[in-house]
Amino acid sequence: MRLLTTVAALRCYLTKRCSENAVTEDLRLDEITGWYQTAVGLVPTMGNLHQGHLSLIQRARQENSTVIVSIFVNPLQFAPNEDYQRYPRTLEQDQKLCEQAGVDAIFAPTPEEMAVPQKSIQESKVTQVIPPSAMMTGLCGRSRLGHFQGVATIVTKLFNLVQPDRAYFGQKDGQQLAIIKRLVADLNLPVEIVACPTVREASGLAFSSRNQYLTATAKEQAAALYRGLQRAEAAFIAGDRNSNKLIAVVQQEVAIVSTILVEYIELVDPTTLMSLEKVEEEGMLAIAARLGSTRLIDNIILRDRQPIIAIDGPAGAGKSTVARQVAANLGLVYLDTGAMYRAVTWLVLQKGIAIDDECAIAELTNLCKIELTPTQDLQSSVRVWINGTDVTQVIRTIEVTSQVSAIAAQSAVRQALVKQQQSWGKKGGLVAEGRDIGTHVFPDAEVKIFLTASVSERARRRQEDFHKQGQSAINLEQLERDIAERDWKDSTRKVSPLQKAADAIEVQTDGLDVSEVTAQIVNYYQQCLSQC
């Protein structure tokens, strides 16, 4: 692991890493062409790392070949009366934690190296990035004037310096997360923002670098914030949707601890941060409070939707068949995301576009219109249309199957289709399957399944499928090689590699028929609902 403290060293390091990846790719060209995990993941921090930070680093390590952790106590996001000078700085300890977590490099510049004075944003003369005022003036923005301009300015500088494919932020800082997502969207920055769940101490208190300001007793008292949010969540599940009622539930719980001084409790839209009177689809119930001189924040997301079941797994594991059966059994909608990628692949082949012409494919995907219409046929529970053409059958050919992984791995294709999938998922009530449904498309799915089977079992099933479709016989050994290669491609691709979500349960399907697998998932779904 390298410790880099200057911009020059960082740029040199990243250039060298790119060069090393290029050499590695050249060496692998004889084995498997065109698929390499070369993505860069960035975890921006202010140091004093804790379990919350480590969860971000672990996620980044899973999904990228290079992981950079920035450690920079940003003076621009501190007001004159805040704790910039005494904010904990523990670089030596942070280095050890990063090394243990498999970080490739730490970027730990001084304010001078980042070209920002040790002054607040209001006093600074540096070029600033200013997010929409409506997103900054509520919640923490009321008491922390200039804070989010300071955050946005430094985060933008870090994105420009590192040029990561993905950047990782925690849901605990919900307002910051929403603002950074908006920043990336508005400025068309080529980075995927990955939101990670809040990590908590045993008491429920969200991990924070400022927790070390608290005594053991104060930490116990601070846990009332999360208890209040949990009580509100329980009221929400019971049917309360009104903002005033939900906020009152939190206030009642927090008021039990007299030492907590509440700054705000609000219900807002988690994307726009606009105040909500009632949760229509989803809301973020957020709280900020002080215990002595220590300021703490927390939030919880409330979703008024039917549950989503996300089924991930390698190619040939039977995801689509099982997903259709589960949807039919539970009366949910089957969202055939794989069919969407296949439809785009079919269109690319029809247009005669080269598979590696990513620019042409990006344009085609963003202009095409895909429709999925339900049918009564369990074997083909959706009909698939692209630009008005019914492609339900033709997207299952060997020609499409052999190329769909290459198309699905292209960033522009994924972004266009995921946007549509997430739009369909707002109301929930879906069963969706794919390679990254539980990790990227619906990371908040209520039920996550990782469906898998041995390579030999999947090859045998694929051979049977081809036989049933009347297609020419394919050697079983060749199918095993193809599936093993597909697994490697999917798990190491730059865009959303195949990964088992941390909160997914694995279902090994060797020796099980479809009805048995379906029964396992339905039982698990019903258990999850009964525990809510």
Contact (Cβ atoms closer than 8 angstroms) between residue 458 and residue 433? no
> What is the C-alpha separation between 27 and 47, in angstroms, rounded?
38
Spatial CA neighbour of 438 closest among 317, 354, 337: 337
> What is the C-alpha separation between 128 and 135, in angstroms, rounded?
16
> What is the C-alpha separation between 410 and 33, in angstroms, rounded?
15
Starting at the earlier edge strand, list the strands of the sheet with 260-268.
Answer: 260-268, 282-291, 294-303
Considering the candidates 53, 147, 440, 467, report the single residue annotated as catalytic: 53
Spatial CA neighbour of 64 closest among 72, 75, 56: 56
10-39: b (≥16 Cβ within 10 Å) or e: beebbeebeeebeeeeeeeeeeeeebbbbb
> What is the C-alpha separation between 228 and 32, in angstroms, rounded?
53
> What is the C-alpha separation between 344 and 415, in angstroms, rounded?
13
H-helix or E-strand spanning residue 59: helix 51-63
135-150: b (≥16 Cβ within 10 Å) or e: bbebbbbeebebbbbb
398 phi, psi to nearest 5 deg: -60, -40
61 phi, psi to nearest 5 deg: -65, -35
Q: Verify whether residue 50 is a known catalytic residue.
A: no
What's the N-to-C CA distance of the chain in angstroms? 43
Q: Label residue 474 exposed, middle or buried (CB < 10 Å: 0-12, 13-18, 19+).
A: middle
Q: Label residue 164 exposed, middle or buried (CB < 10 Å: 0-12, 13-18, 19+).
A: buried
H-helix or E-strand spanning residue 288: strand 282-291
Spatial CA neighbour of 298 closest among 271, 269, 272, 263: 263
Q: Using the structure block, give the residue that is written with the tokens 């220590």.
A: 294
> What is the C-alpha separation between 191 and 156, in angstroms, rounded?
11
Q: How far is CA 279 from CA 140, 240, 264, 428, 442, in A?
A: 21, 9, 18, 15, 19
Residues belonging to the active site? 53
